[in-house]
Amino acid sequence: METALVGAVIAAGAAVVAAVVSWFGAFQNRRTADRDHAWRRLTWAIRRAETQSEYDISKTVLERLMNVPWAPKPDRNLARRALRRHRFESVRDREPEAD
């Protein structure tokens, strides 16, 4: 009887550990997928030039990446800096040249 009880306790403990490990793996997998998605959107948005038809969309993508709750803070900060650079380049390109 004691042996069966010890075996059941060990099996229950192993099941709990397996569940925790499985949950953590799924959490990490989802987080990795979210970061990959955010990275692809960010790099796509940065590559758009003002002369391309997607320019307005890329600005919107950067603005939205700054505020998505699932993106990690470093990614949101990167989107913020990229948008600042995006806006700066468009202003710099429009400045009249002094002759």
> Per the domain annotation, does 99 fall within a domain?
no
Q: Quick one: pLDDT at residue 22?
A: 92
> Per the domain annotation, does 10 fall within a domain?
yes
User: What is the residue type of 27?
Assistant: F
Tokens of 36: 């990959």
Strand, coil or helix: 73:
helix
Query: How many domains does one find in the chain?
Result: 1
| pLDDT tens for each residue of 29-62 | 888 887 788 778 777 776 666 666 666 667 777 7
- Closest to 79 in 3D by CA, of 89, 90, 61, 66: 66
Distance CA(29)–CA(47), nearest Å, equals 27
> Per the domain annotation, does 84 fall within a domain?
yes
Domain of residue 6 covers 2-93
pTM of the prediction? 0.43
> 52 exposed, middle or buried (CB, 10 Å; 0-12, 13-18, 19+)?
exposed
